[in-house]
Amino acid sequence: MPASDPIADMLTRIRNANAASLDEAIVPASRIKVGLAKILREEGFIKHYKVARQHPKGSKRGGRRNRDRGNPLEKRSDIRIFLKYGANGENVIHGLKRMSRPGLRRYVGAGEIPRIEGGFGITVLSTSRGLLTGAQCRKRNIGGELLCAIW
């Protein structure tokens, strides 16, 4: 059964992999999740990420009939998120929290964006300009849906 909140599922997978000191977390791909992984990499919370396509059993990868066309994020693709740890093995990600959820959406203006852990954490917002961090939204003076907080 698919998750009713895919972003919360992604954050939970990252949180669980981080708690178990795993090297990577594998998450089903979507455009918003790739955007969130990109922000995590840009802000230094993860090493990097990779969108990996999976081919169904029996398909010929390069065959003319089975050649994938169109969107690179099809249902058969995953995001491999490579986690980052400090010099002594301490976690770089200390916490992840889903702010807005399907049952209760949370929208904020540019002046209402919360600061996380005294500025050491980030908030991620879905805006009309795409996914942005709280600092980017304050700088551009735009608000949006407050997706999550990472510290």
Q: Return the number of other C-beta atoms located less than 10 Å from residue 150's C-beta.
A: 24
Mean local confidence (pLDDT), 13-23: 96
pLDDT-above-70 percentage for the chain: 84
The pLDDT-based confidence of 74 (bands split at 50, 70, 90) is: very low
Mean local confidence (pLDDT), 111-121: 92
Mean local confidence (pLDDT), 6-22: 96
> In this model, does residue 67 exceed pLDDT 60?
no
The pLDDT-based confidence of 7 (bands split at 50, 70, 90) is: very high
Q: How many degrees, rounded to 5, is the angle at CA 26 between CA 107 and CA 48?
A: 80
1-93, CATH topology level: Ribosomal Protein S8; Chain: A, domain 1 (3.30.1370)
Mean local confidence (pLDDT), 48-73: 64
Domain positions in the chain:
1-93, 95-151
pTM: 0.82
Mean local confidence (pLDDT), 51-75: 59
pLDDT at 80 (0 to 100):
97
Is there a contact between 151 and 11 (Cβ–Cβ < 8 Å)?
no
Does this chain's domain 1-93 share its CATH topology with 95-151? no
CATH of domain 95-151: 3.30.1490.10
pLDDT-above-90 percentage for the chain: 77
The pLDDT-based confidence of 76 (bands split at 50, 70, 90) is: confident
